[in-house]
Copies of this chain bind each other. A is one copy, B any other.
Amino acid sequence: MNTELPKTVSEPTLKRLPLYHHFLKELLQREQEAVSCTDIGEELNLDPTQVRKDLEAAGISGRPRIGYATAAVVDGIERFLGWKKVSEAFLVGAGSMGSALLGYRKFEECGLKIVAAFDRDPAKVGRKIHGKHVLALDKLTDLAQRMHVLIGIITVPAVEAQAVADALVAGGVRAIWNFAPVRLRVPEHIIVHNEDLYCSLASLSQKLGQALEANPAEPVTARRLRTATLS
Protein backbone atom coordinates (compact mmCIF):
# COMPACT_ATOMS: atom_id res chain seq x y z
CA MET A 1 0.00 0.00 0.00
CA ASN A 2 2.95 2.27 0.55
CA THR A 3 3.86 3.79 -2.80
CA GLU A 4 6.88 5.66 -1.46
CA LEU A 5 10.05 3.90 -2.45
CA PRO A 6 12.85 4.35 0.07
CA LYS A 7 15.27 5.76 -2.49
CA THR A 8 18.28 7.04 -0.63
CA VAL A 9 19.45 10.58 -1.18
CA SER A 10 23.11 11.40 -1.60
CA GLU A 11 25.11 13.02 1.16
CA PRO A 12 25.98 16.13 -0.88
CA THR A 13 22.31 16.67 -1.62
CA LEU A 14 21.38 16.32 2.03
CA LYS A 15 23.94 18.92 2.99
CA ARG A 16 22.73 21.40 0.39
CA LEU A 17 19.08 21.24 1.39
CA PRO A 18 19.59 23.31 4.57
CA LEU A 19 21.25 26.01 2.46
CA TYR A 20 18.18 26.25 0.27
CA HIS A 21 16.02 26.25 3.36
CA HIS A 22 17.94 29.11 4.89
CA PHE A 23 17.79 31.25 1.76
CA LEU A 24 14.12 30.59 1.10
CA LYS A 25 13.19 31.52 4.63
CA GLU A 26 14.77 34.87 3.96
CA LEU A 27 12.75 35.19 0.79
CA LEU A 28 9.62 34.33 2.72
CA GLN A 29 10.26 37.20 5.06
CA ARG A 30 10.55 39.48 2.08
CA GLU A 31 7.28 37.97 0.94
CA GLN A 32 8.69 36.61 -2.28
CA GLU A 33 6.24 33.85 -3.02
CA ALA A 34 7.95 32.12 -5.91
CA VAL A 35 11.54 31.31 -6.71
CA SER A 36 13.39 29.66 -9.57
CA CYS A 37 16.34 27.30 -9.45
CA THR A 38 18.35 29.99 -11.17
CA ASP A 39 17.66 32.41 -8.30
CA ILE A 40 18.73 29.85 -5.75
CA GLY A 41 21.75 28.86 -7.76
CA GLU A 42 22.93 32.44 -8.10
CA GLU A 43 22.60 33.12 -4.40
CA LEU A 44 24.47 29.98 -3.36
CA ASN A 45 26.77 29.71 -6.31
CA LEU A 46 25.41 26.39 -7.48
CA ASP A 47 24.32 24.98 -10.81
CA PRO A 48 20.56 25.52 -11.31
CA THR A 49 20.15 21.97 -12.56
CA GLN A 50 21.71 20.69 -9.40
CA VAL A 51 19.28 22.69 -7.33
CA ARG A 52 16.40 21.26 -9.31
CA LYS A 53 17.69 17.72 -8.86
CA ASP A 54 18.10 18.26 -5.14
CA LEU A 55 14.56 19.55 -4.75
CA GLU A 56 13.26 16.65 -6.79
CA ALA A 57 15.13 14.24 -4.51
CA ALA A 58 13.40 15.85 -1.57
CA GLY A 59 10.07 15.25 -3.27
CA ILE A 60 9.44 18.89 -4.07
CA SER A 61 8.07 19.97 -7.42
CA GLY A 62 7.53 23.31 -9.07
CA ARG A 63 5.65 24.61 -12.05
CA PRO A 64 7.19 25.32 -15.44
CA ARG A 65 7.46 29.02 -16.18
CA ILE A 66 6.41 29.91 -12.60
CA GLY A 67 9.11 28.29 -10.51
CA TYR A 68 8.70 26.87 -7.02
CA ALA A 69 6.36 28.18 -4.35
CA THR A 70 8.72 29.48 -1.67
CA ALA A 71 6.61 28.37 1.27
CA ALA A 72 6.09 24.92 -0.21
CA VAL A 73 9.81 24.39 -0.65
CA VAL A 74 10.57 25.51 2.90
CA ASP A 75 7.90 23.18 4.18
CA GLY A 76 8.98 20.35 1.92
CA ILE A 77 12.60 20.54 3.02
CA GLU A 78 11.62 20.59 6.68
CA ARG A 79 9.42 17.59 6.20
CA PHE A 80 11.97 15.70 4.15
CA LEU A 81 14.82 16.32 6.57
CA GLY A 82 12.72 15.20 9.49
CA TRP A 83 12.67 18.59 11.15
CA LYS A 84 8.97 18.39 11.90
CA LYS A 85 9.18 15.68 14.51
CA VAL A 86 11.87 16.52 17.02
CA SER A 87 14.03 13.68 18.36
CA GLU A 88 15.53 13.74 21.81
CA ALA A 89 19.26 13.53 22.33
CA PHE A 90 21.76 13.05 25.11
CA LEU A 91 25.00 14.95 24.95
CA VAL A 92 27.97 13.23 26.56
CA GLY A 93 30.96 15.28 27.60
CA ALA A 94 30.25 18.69 29.10
CA GLY A 95 33.59 20.20 28.16
CA SER A 96 33.94 23.33 26.13
CA MET A 97 32.71 21.82 22.88
CA GLY A 98 29.85 20.07 24.62
CA SER A 99 28.86 23.28 26.37
CA ALA A 100 28.97 25.15 23.09
CA LEU A 101 26.61 22.66 21.49
CA LEU A 102 24.26 22.85 24.46
CA GLY A 103 23.90 26.53 23.62
CA TYR A 104 22.80 26.00 20.01
CA ARG A 105 19.12 26.77 20.37
CA LYS A 106 18.34 26.39 16.70
CA PHE A 107 19.03 22.65 16.84
CA GLU A 108 15.45 22.22 18.01
CA GLU A 109 14.24 23.71 14.75
CA CYS A 110 16.29 21.03 13.02
CA GLY A 111 14.74 18.08 14.74
CA LEU A 112 17.23 17.81 17.59
CA LYS A 113 16.33 18.40 21.20
CA ILE A 114 19.14 17.88 23.66
CA VAL A 115 17.37 16.85 26.85
CA ALA A 116 20.36 16.30 29.13
CA ALA A 117 24.12 16.27 29.30
CA PHE A 118 26.38 13.71 30.93
CA ASP A 119 29.85 13.99 32.35
CA ARG A 120 32.29 11.87 34.29
CA ASP A 121 33.47 14.82 36.36
CA PRO A 122 31.57 14.98 39.70
CA ALA A 123 32.25 18.71 39.81
CA LYS A 124 30.07 19.19 36.73
CA VAL A 125 27.34 16.72 37.68
CA GLY A 126 24.27 18.39 39.15
CA ARG A 127 25.00 21.72 37.53
CA LYS A 128 23.17 23.18 34.59
CA ILE A 129 24.70 24.36 31.34
CA HIS A 130 22.62 26.52 29.04
CA GLY A 131 19.63 25.32 30.98
CA LYS A 132 20.35 21.60 30.61
CA HIS A 133 21.06 19.29 33.53
CA VAL A 134 24.43 17.61 33.72
CA LEU A 135 24.02 14.04 34.96
CA ALA A 136 26.47 11.37 36.05
CA LEU A 137 27.94 9.32 33.25
CA ASP A 138 27.07 6.01 34.88
CA LYS A 139 23.39 6.80 34.52
CA LEU A 140 23.69 7.15 30.76
CA THR A 141 22.69 3.72 29.51
CA ASP A 142 19.85 3.23 31.91
CA LEU A 143 18.35 6.64 31.31
CA ALA A 144 18.71 6.40 27.55
CA GLN A 145 16.85 3.13 27.68
CA ARG A 146 14.06 4.32 29.93
CA MET A 147 13.59 7.61 28.11
CA HIS A 148 13.93 6.03 24.68
CA VAL A 149 16.40 8.66 23.60
CA LEU A 150 17.29 8.20 19.96
CA ILE A 151 20.38 10.33 19.46
CA GLY A 152 23.71 10.53 21.26
CA ILE A 153 26.17 13.39 20.84
CA ILE A 154 29.74 12.57 21.80
CA THR A 155 31.95 15.44 22.91
CA VAL A 156 34.34 13.59 25.21
CA PRO A 157 38.09 13.27 24.67
CA ALA A 158 39.16 10.75 22.02
CA VAL A 159 40.18 8.03 24.46
CA GLU A 160 36.78 7.93 26.10
CA ALA A 161 34.70 8.10 22.97
CA GLN A 162 34.42 4.38 22.26
CA ALA A 163 33.26 3.58 25.78
CA VAL A 164 30.64 6.32 25.54
CA ALA A 165 29.51 5.00 22.18
CA ASP A 166 29.13 1.54 23.67
CA ALA A 167 27.07 2.96 26.52
CA LEU A 168 24.86 4.86 24.10
CA VAL A 169 24.32 1.82 21.93
CA ALA A 170 23.52 -0.25 24.99
CA GLY A 171 20.96 2.40 25.84
CA GLY A 172 19.23 1.88 22.51
CA VAL A 173 20.33 5.03 20.75
CA ARG A 174 19.84 4.86 16.97
CA ALA A 175 22.17 7.64 15.82
CA ILE A 176 25.43 9.10 17.05
CA TRP A 177 26.87 12.52 16.27
CA ASN A 178 30.53 12.08 17.06
CA PHE A 179 32.78 15.08 17.68
CA ALA A 180 35.67 13.02 19.03
CA PRO A 181 38.49 12.42 16.56
CA VAL A 182 38.14 8.64 16.46
CA ARG A 183 36.31 6.13 14.31
CA LEU A 184 33.76 4.41 16.47
CA ARG A 185 33.01 0.73 16.26
CA VAL A 186 29.26 0.29 16.44
CA PRO A 187 26.71 -2.19 15.15
CA GLU A 188 25.78 -1.76 11.52
CA HIS A 189 22.31 -0.41 12.07
CA ILE A 190 23.56 2.56 14.10
CA ILE A 191 23.92 5.80 12.15
CA VAL A 192 27.20 7.54 12.91
CA HIS A 193 28.20 11.00 11.76
CA ASN A 194 31.74 12.05 12.42
CA GLU A 195 32.46 15.71 12.93
CA ASP A 196 36.20 15.41 13.05
CA LEU A 197 37.63 18.93 13.07
CA TYR A 198 41.14 17.64 12.49
CA CYS A 199 40.04 16.10 9.21
CA SER A 200 38.47 19.35 8.10
CA LEU A 201 41.50 21.28 9.20
CA ALA A 202 43.78 18.94 7.29
CA SER A 203 42.02 19.76 4.08
CA LEU A 204 42.21 23.49 4.75
CA SER A 205 45.82 23.25 5.73
CA GLN A 206 46.83 21.35 2.63
CA LYS A 207 45.09 23.76 0.31
CA LEU A 208 46.64 26.74 2.03
CA GLY A 209 50.05 25.16 1.66
CA GLN A 210 49.45 24.62 -2.04
CA ALA A 211 48.24 28.19 -2.49
CA LEU A 212 51.24 29.61 -0.67
CA GLU A 213 53.58 27.55 -2.76
CA ALA A 214 52.00 28.88 -5.93
CA ASN A 215 51.85 32.43 -4.65
CA PRO A 216 53.97 33.10 -1.58
CA ALA A 217 53.61 36.15 0.59
CA GLU A 218 55.04 37.72 3.67
CA PRO A 219 58.50 39.27 3.23
CA VAL A 220 60.92 38.76 6.07
CA THR A 221 60.86 42.37 7.11
CA ALA A 222 57.18 42.11 7.80
CA ARG A 223 57.84 39.03 9.89
CA ARG A 224 60.13 41.04 12.08
CA LEU A 225 57.50 43.72 12.57
CA ARG A 226 55.08 41.03 13.57
CA THR A 227 57.24 39.72 16.38
CA ALA A 228 57.59 43.24 17.68
CA THR A 229 53.85 43.72 17.65
CA LEU A 230 52.83 40.72 19.69
CA SER A 231 55.35 40.59 22.45
Contact = CB atoms under 8 A, between A and B. Distances in A.
Nearest to A17: B202
A123 interface: no
Interface in A90-140: 95-97, 99-101, 103-104, 106-107, 110-112, 115-116
Contacts of A215: 189
B217 A172 contact: yes
A110 B205 contact: yes
A111 B209 CA distance: 10
A85 B110 CA distance: 39
A148 B223 contact: yes
Interface in A5-37: 6, 8-9, 11, 14-19, 22
Contacts of A196: 15, 18
Contacts of A205: 81-83, 87, 110-112
Interface string A74-85: 000000111101
A170 interface: no
How many copies are assembled? 2
Given A100-B100, A174-B217, A15 B202 contact: yes
Interface residues of A, number: 80
A58 to B, nearest CB: 9
B183 A204 contact: no
Interface in A163-189: 172, 174-175, 177, 181-183, 189
B111 A218 contact: no
A1 interface: no
B202 A177 contact: no
- Most B-side CB within 10 Å, residue of A11, A80, A208: A208
Interface of A: 6, 8-9, 11, 14-19, 22, 43-45, 80-83, 85, 87, 95-97, 99-101, 103-104, 106-107, 110-112, 115-116, 143, 146-148, 150-151, 172, 174-175, 177, 181-183, 189, 191, 193, 195-215, 217-218, 222-223, 225-226, 229-230
